[in-house]
Copies of this chain bind each other. A is one copy, B any other.
Amino acid sequence: MNPTEGETDALAEPVPGALGERILLGHGSGGRLTADLFQGLFLPAFRSPQLEVAADQALVELGGATVAVTTDSFVVSPLFFPGGDIGRLAVCGTVNDLAVGGATPLYLTVGFILEEGLPVADLRRIVASMAEAAREAGVTIVAGDTKVVERGKGDGVFVNTTGVGLVPPGLRLSPRAIRPGDCILVSGPVGDHGVTIMALRSGIGVEAGIRSDTAPLSGLVRALLDAVPGAVRCMRDPTRGGLATTLVELARAAGLCFQVEEAAIPVREEVRALCEMLGIDPLYVANEGKLVAIVDGAAADAALAALRSHPLGREAQIIGRVASGPPGAVHLRTVVGGTRPLDLLEGEQLPRIC
């Protein structure tokens, strides 16, 4: 229900009547259909100030503290992949939703839905991976729950993680803080996670060097916020729907126009090649360890240096700028010199990418 987790965009215009009679795979894509579900079904029923903001996490006041809360379920298939597994993904995904809002991730809850017959060794491996990712991210797992469904009523393991973090006093990141002249940064090559899963699923096999980027962004975010205090407007992790969907959501939420240079967007050669083979656009492919940050143009170089000084941001780039132009539009200047508008991911690229 939070748009830039890829779920929805509270500011996307709903398509009237778009909510059909049956749930489709695309309703979980993080693109247009997910936005329709949010606008047409969840938001009217659950309406709350936090849901209307529809950020990566909800901010709530608890005994004087500003606390960030976020939830994500993970249904990735296959369960294990180069660079991670469903456990690492579940910890990092939720940690990252907290981190990109500026919160310090502190506590996680974990809910398992297991399918009868799952090898206990697989569960043990997933749980060990979660524990390791939690240590990397500096979070503590404080509560959990396990349910088991009959063979054929689930698919091995589904994991829900819900995260709680503390927002530093005074820090309020929001698309509404974005101003013309701000710069758009991305912390490294895009598409790694999604392409890894797609390659596995399509039976292409994973070439050497293609692996998911699943990683906790809490350290990278802290480095950025410390380096350019007050200059960061807003951050996101471009998961389902990819970088393009995230940029469109931000531009719409800001009511401004983004101009992005395709040539500046880092994409690994192997990822680009596989995307061509699969007929997909890497800008719409999910990432699980990348940061998009919009920062004051005057601080952009310092922000870039801060990202590059962190192991997870070595290949960071400034990819564009907030400019004058139609509000909510994202214009991609292509490598061949043309301009094409980006939009939300339509339909479903590949189900169960996370």
Contact = CB atoms under 8 A, between A and B. Distances in A.
Contact of A144 (B51, B60, B153): B51
Count of identical protomers in the assembly: 2
Contacts of A37: 146
Contact of A111 (B71, B141, B143, B144): B71
Contact of A141 (B46, B119, B354): B46
A342 to B, nearest CB: 23
Nearest to A240: B147
A199 interface: no
A112 interface: yes
A154 to B, nearest CB: 6
21 contacts: A7-B145, A7-B146, A20-B120, A21-B119, A22-B119, A28-B148, A38-B146, A41-B124, A41-B127, A46-B110, A46-B127, A46-B130, A48-B142, A58-B142, A60-B106, A71-B109, A73-B111, A109-B162, A113-B158, A152-B152, A162-B162
Contacts of A127: 41-42, 45-46
A128 interface: yes
A45 B131 CA distance: 6
A114 interface: yes
B154 A70 contact: no
SS class of chain A's interface: helix, strand, loop or mixed? mixed
Interface string A20-36: 11111111100000100
The 3 closest A-B pairs by CB, nearest first: A63-B65, A28-B148, A1-B144
Nearest to A141: B46
A347 interface: no
A206 to B, nearest CB: 22
Interface string A69-83: 111111101000000
A326 to B, nearest CB: 30
A20 B115 CA distance: 15
A21 B120 contact: yes
Nearest to A162: B162
Contacts of A155: 149, 153-154
